[in-house]
Amino acid sequence: MLAFLFPGQGAQSIGFLHRLAPHPAVDETLAEASEVLGTDVLTLDTAEALRSTVAVQLTLVIAGVAITRRLAAEGLAAQISAGLSIGAYAAAVSCGAVAFADALRLARKRAELMENAYPTGYGLSAISGLTERAVETLARETANDPAGRIYIGNVNAPRQIVVAGADAALDAFNARALAAGARKATRLDVSVPSHCELLARASDELAAYSADVPFRSPRSTYVGNRSARPLETADAIRDDLVTNMRYTVRWFDALTVMIERGATVLVEAPPGQVLTDIAADAYPGVHALSASTIAQDKLAETIRRRLR
């Protein structure tokens, strides 16, 4: 069974849309996105453009949809889709729960709300080598810290936890985590405090905006960010997309659900490889592939061989 994984903010790299191999489905996706957004989307993956949360989130959605459409044109569609954070928007398009154009408009609004709420001074850190419980204990100790409180944003793997907060608080927390036995504690290329209560108001505004966006029941399985469970209704998927900025993303639980439901080949959309590495490490019996590391003219056949 084939599953698609869609990476979140932090996976972006300069020029990654330009590295999508030419294909009619890819070209049509880029053209549609440019028309919907009113700008040439190939201008959004420059070093300068990617300083904007809006550009980063939009280009990740575009790349995810482009690769799934290319694979669909070659006869490959996923039975399960899941995305981390903004990647969930491409996953919702992949499973047929929302139209690409509507997902783009919703993603742009999401990114604008996040960026406007915290234009500078905030971000994320990845803590490797400590359990969620250990990181949660350290985070609770920051409740009254003058530098600011730290929140658990993502549980990507049993010992790979992402935390959110203000810059000074994150720097102090990284040092605290290393002193507590973390193997690594590093800032991510994300400029907003994603997946915590700091974005509660922005999430509420996005929920109100989404009321007029049409959603449908998915044609294939969609696994949510917040619950890490399969979501089967239009309203459940809408809620997952508009609230995932304010709640912890339980990615490893979502990955486990995909495996339990029979996924044997996992394909990560460009430009990421982090989700591939997590899956390969946790489930070595499953075929985890990063589309970014495989020649595009060989990707479909590589997937078919793994499925066989």
pLDDT digits (tens, 9 = 90+) for 83-97: 999 999 999 999 999
87 vs 120: CA distance, rounded Å: 23
Cβ neighbourhood burial of 94 (10 Å; 0-12, 13-18, 19+)? buried
Q: 81 catalytic, yes or no?
A: no
The residues pairing with 221 across neighbouring beta strands, listed in sequence order, are: 80
Find all residues with CB under 8 Å of 67, minimum gap 6, and list them: 20, 26, 269, 270, 291
71 vs 33: CA distance, rounded Å: 18
Of 8, 91, 67, give the one whose Cα is nearest residue 257: 91
pLDDT digits (tens, 9 = 90+) for 112-158: 999 999 999 999 999 999 999 999 999 999 998 888 999 999 999 99
Q: What is the mean pLDDT of the chain?
A: 96
**Residue numbers in the chain where pLDDT is lower than 70:** none
H/E stretch holding 94:
helix 87-94
pLDDT at 289: 98
Find all residues with CB under 8 Å of 55, minimum gap 6, and list them: 44, 45, 49
pLDDT at 147: 86
Domain ranges across the chain: 2-117+197-307, 122-187
Domain over 122-187 is classified CATH 3.90.320.10 = no
Six-digit token string for 32:
């549609």
User: 23, 81, 85, 210: which one is catalytic?
Assistant: 85
Tell me which long-range contacts 292-295 makes (C-beta under 8 A, separation of at least 24).
292/16, 292/19, 292/268, 295/21
Six-digit token string for 3:
């599953």
Q: In what order do the strands lie in the sheet with 122-128?
A: 151-157, 160-166, 122-128, 184-187
pLDDT at 177: 98
pLDDT at 282: 95
4 vs 78: CA distance, rounded Å: 6
pLDDT at 125: 98
Find all residues with CB under 8 Å of 35, minimum gap 6, and list them: none
Question: E strands within the chain?
Answer: 2-6, 80-83, 122-128, 151-157, 160-166, 184-187, 221-223, 230-231, 265-268, 287-290
pLDDT digits (tens, 9 = 90+) for 195-208: 999 999 999 999 99
pLDDT at 296: 87
Q: 23 catalytic, yes or no?
A: no
pLDDT digits (tens, 9 = 90+) for 209-223: 999 999 999 999 999
70 vs 88: CA distance, rounded Å: 19
User: 23, 125, 194, 195: which one is catalytic?
Assistant: 195
CATH code for residues 2-117+197-307: 3.40.366.10
Give, rounded to a whole angstrom, the gap between the first and last alpha carbons of the chain: 10
pLDDT at 305: 96
